[in-house]
Chains A and B, each alone.
Chain A
Amino acid sequence: MAELRTEEFQVNMGPHHPSTHGVCRLVLTMDGEKVVAVEPVIGYLHRAIEKICENRTYPQCSPMMDRFEYVTAMSSDYVYALAVEKLAQLEVPERAEYLRVIMLELNRIASHLIFWGVTAMDIGAYTPFLYGLREREDIIDLFEMTCGQRLTYNYIRIGGVSRDIPKEFEPKCRAFIKKLRGKFSDYEGLLNENPIWLARTKGIGVLTPETAISYGASGPVLRASGIDYDLRRDDPYSIYDKFDFAIPTQKTGDCYDRFIQRLDEMKESLKIIEQALDGLPEGEIKAKVKPKFKPPEGEVYSRIESARGEMGAYVRSDGTTKPVRVKLRGSSYNHLALVPEICTDVLIADLVAIFATLDIIMPEVDR
C-alpha cells in the first residue's frame, strides 16, 4: 500500500474566537490535529494607554487604569496609585488601606470565579459558568453599592479611596462570605473528580518551574508549578503583613493544578476579607491630594499580586504635573509569551485548555 503523504498547514485561531478571551490571534502550524507551532499575534486591543497617560495629570491617569485590566480593575487602580504614592511618599490613612484590601480580595475572588466558569466552558462543561457568574454577581453588587460602578470602578485613588463603604456593606459582605464558603463543596463536586475533566486537564500543558521563572510567569501559574512565592507575603505592600493567610501551592504545573490552585486561593482570600472587616478602623479615607499634584523627580516600579499574577507599574516623574512615563506590566503579557513554549505537540483541544488555565486576558497584554 502506498504511504500516505501528510503535510503541515496553517490555521488562524482568532482574533474572534471565544476561547481567546478578548481578541488574540494564534497562528497555528498544524500536522493533522496536532499543533506543531503557535505564534500569538497581538495588538488588536492596543489603546495606547501609556501614551495617553503622558498627556494627563497624575490624578487624571487613574481612570485609564481601569481599562488596563478590567477583570480585576481594583488591582490595576491600586498598582498605579501605589507607584505614585511611593514617588510622592504619601501617607495613606489606615482605614483606606483596610478598604483597599477588602476590595482587592473581593475582586480577586470575582476574577477567579470567572476563571473557574470560563475555563470549564472552554473545555466543554457549561454549568460552572452559570454558577461562577451567579456568585460573582454578589461581589459586583457590593462594588456597585460602594462606588456606583460594576466594571470600571476607579475606586482606589492616589492617597486613598474615592468614598467610604455604606452601612449595609459589612452585613452583606459577611453574608456573601458565608454563602460562598457553602458553595465550595458544590464547586468541587462538579469537576474536581470528574473523569472527563481529569482526562482533559491532568498532565496537559505541564509548565516546569525553570521555564516558568525564565519567562517571568507569576501568581497562580507560578505557584501551580510548585514555587512558593506570593508578593502579598514576600514583598508585602499595603497592610497584608497584618493578616494571617496561607499560600497554597501545587506540584506538577499542569492544567489541572492551575485550575485547583485558583479554587484554593479563593478560600484564603475569604479569610483575609473576614480579618479586614473585623479590624476595620474608623477614620479618614483619603490623604489630601491637590489638583496640581506634583510628585518629586524620580522613578519607581511598584508591583502587586493581582488575580493573574504580578501586576506592575513603572512611573517616572520630572517634578511637573504630568508623568514622563507610565509603563504597565501585566502578568498575561508574560503568560502569553509562554504559550509557544508549552503548546508544541499538543492537540488543538488541549491548546484551548492551556490557554484557558493560564487565565490570559487581552487588555492586559495590549494596553
Chain B
Amino acid sequence: MGTRRDFLKGFLASGAVATAGVVSAPTLARETRPRPPEALGLLYDATLCVGCKACVAACKTANNNPAEFSTVDHLWDTPLDTSGYTFNLIKMYRNGTMEVKDQEANGYAFMKTSCMHCGDPSCVSACPVSAMTKDPETGVVGYNPDKCIGCRYCVAACPFGIPKYQYDSPTGRIGKCELCRHRHKDGHYSACAEVCPTGATLFGRTEDLLAEAKRRLAHKPGQPMKIPRGRLRHAQEKQLAGKEDGKGAKMRHGWRDEPDQTYEAPAGKYLQHVYGEKEYGGTQVLKLSGVNFAKVGMPDLPPDAAAAMSETIQHTLYGNLIMPFAVLGAMTWVAKRNVKPDDDSDKEGS
C-alpha cells in the first residue's frame, strides 16, 4: 500500500511549513519604524507641571467627554485613570513626607498620562479593520469608530495602556487622545498644550520638541532657563507656512497666531533621559521627569517596537500568501492521492 512512503510525503509537506518559515525569516524582517519627519507631538516636562489639571478639563471639553466621578458628592470631574471618556490625566507620585517636588524619596511629582503617539504603534498593527491608523504625515494615531468592531485588541496591545473601551455602553467606543486632530483645521493645536499655564505640556513637531528637551537637560538645576509656552515654533515656520508642499497640499502650518509667551524660570532637576526618544523606536510625545520614569507609571520599553516583531512573523508566514498557497498545493496533491472520490459511500465505508 505504500503507506509508509505516503506517510513520509505527508510529513515532508507539512514540515515545509516550519522550514520555509525559518529560512525566509531574515528577508521579510521588518525594522521598527521611525517617527515621520514632520511628526507632531507633545513635550511634557514634569518639573514644570503644577498639577492644576487645566489640561484634563480642556481635554474633556475639546473631545466632548462627560465628567467621571470618584468622590461621593459627584461635584466635579475626578477620574482616577484614563478611560473611554478621559483621554488625558495628570497623575501624582507620592513618597514619604512628600516634602520636595520632583524628588523620589520623601517627595512628590506629577505625570501626564495620554497617548504617546508611537512611531510604530502596537494598536495600529493590532487593529484588524484599520480603525486605528497612523497619519503618514503628522504621525497622529487616530481612531475611526465607524470601522471599529470593538474587539479591544488595541487595548490589550498598547504597552502604555492608552486605548480604552466604554464598557458601560451597548455601543461603546474606544477612547484615546488623537492630539486634537479634529481641531487642527481651525488652526487649534492640542487643547492640553493650549491651556497649560506653565508650558509643562508643549505642542510642536517632535523633532523640535526633542531638541528642546535636550536643551533643557543641558541646564544645571536652578540655572535660569527660557521656557516656551503653548506651541513650540518651528525654526523655518515663517518660510514654510502656507506654501505648497509639491504634492498639491498646503504645508501644515496654519496654526493660529498667538503671542510668544516664553518666560524664564530656574531649570528643574532632571533625570538625563528623554522618555520617548528611543522607547519602542521612538514616540511622538516626549517626557522629562525628575523621578524615575518607572516610578511614575512609564514602563521600561525596549528600543524595538513589538509591532515590528509581530509583523515580521506575520509576513514571514503569510507574506503575499506564498507559504499558504505552497502548503495548500502540497496538501492538495497529497490529499488527491489519498482521498477516493467515493470515500464515504455507505457500501464500503471508507
A, B from the same assembly? no
Residues on A lying within 8 angstroms of B by beta carbon are none
Residues on B facing A (Cβ under 8 Å):
none
